[in-house]
Homo-oligomer: A and B are copies of this chain.
Amino acid sequence: MDVGQINVQRQNGVALWRQIADRIRASIANGEYDATGMVPPEMVLAAQFGVNRHTVRSALAALAQEGIVRAMQGRGTLIERKERLNFPISQRTRFTEGIGDQARKKEGLLLSSAEEPASAALAASLRIAEGAPVIRLETLRKADRRPVSRSTNWFPAGRFAGMKEAYEASGSITAAFQALGLSDYWRFSTEITATHADGADLADLQLSPGAIILVARALNVDPDGVPVQYAVSRFPADMVQFTIAN
């Protein structure tokens, strides 16, 4: 098969090896190398991208550092991890259930928490008074020990006073709500954007500079339609996708 040239741009502030690493990572996630379970040989990739073999080696070294591939002398470069996690977005969106059996071990860690007055925008979303107290939880979610999202969650402080302790005990927002007497809730709206990872993302999600993150801003409401949670979640773009089924 003649693959043809794959386009990368020179001298635009993003190193060739990083652009190539991003492309290979995406190809792996898209299952393009599933037939062999291997990345094509370095010389083949170099020809495809129109670069020197060393540049491809730099890209593969970065992917090896991420644990996505493992190079084996004389054999080739083995793919270690390939699947993208899929997050369904619906009225019943829940993080842990959403992952389902796509990962064996699911964790929710509390990075920090605070009580603070609601900003104007947050107050409007949660339908509370501006400046009213809210509880903010910074959480990190992992699937099979790899970080998959970093979230900032706000809850009305009056109604959900014990949120921090309830989340720490269970590692799950759903379980924490139940512990506080809210047995069910609904996803009211979701806003999706994409941006470059910032410093905190890089550290917490174990990404390399220039990485892309998907950002979901979500409002959850109780069965009466009263807002109970506003959350901003950040996902590594090459690890996840969102699906909306109608």
Q: Which A positions have Cβ atoms within 8 angstroms of B? A: 6-9, 12-15, 17-19, 21-23, 26, 29, 62, 84, 89-91, 186-196, 198-200, 202, 208-210, 212-214, 237-238, 240-246
**Are A209 and B244 in contact (CB-based, < 8 A)?**
no
Task: State the oligomeric state as a number of copies.
Answer: 2
Nearest first, the 8 closest Cβ-Cβ pairs linking A and B are A13-B18, A7-B199, A12-B209, A194-B194, A14-B210, A194-B237, A13-B15, A91-B246
Contacts of A84 in B (CB 8 A): 193
Q: A13 with B192: in contact, given A23-B198, A198-B23 (CB under 8 Å)?
A: no
Contacts of A189 in B (CB 8 A): 243-246
Q: A192 with B192: in contact, given A15-B14, A208-B12, A210-B14 (CB under 8 Å)?
A: yes
Q: A191 with B241: in contact, given A19-B210, A246-B91 (CB under 8 Å)?
A: yes
Q: A17 with B13: in contact, given A192-B214, A192-B244, A198-B7 (CB under 8 Å)?
A: yes
Pick from B6, B19, B191, B208: contact of A196, CB under 8 Å? B19
Q: Give the docked Cα–Cα distance between A219 and B143 (Å).
A: 29
**Are A194 and B208 in contact (CB-based, < 8 A)?**
no
Can you list 14 A-B contacts (CB < 8 A)? A9-B199, A12-B210, A13-B209, A19-B210, A22-B195, A26-B198, A90-B246, A190-B246, A191-B241, A192-B241, A192-B243, A194-B237, A195-B237, A196-B212
CB-based nearest B residue for A208: B12
Contacts of A238 in B (CB 8 A): 195
Contacts of A6 in B (CB 8 A): 199
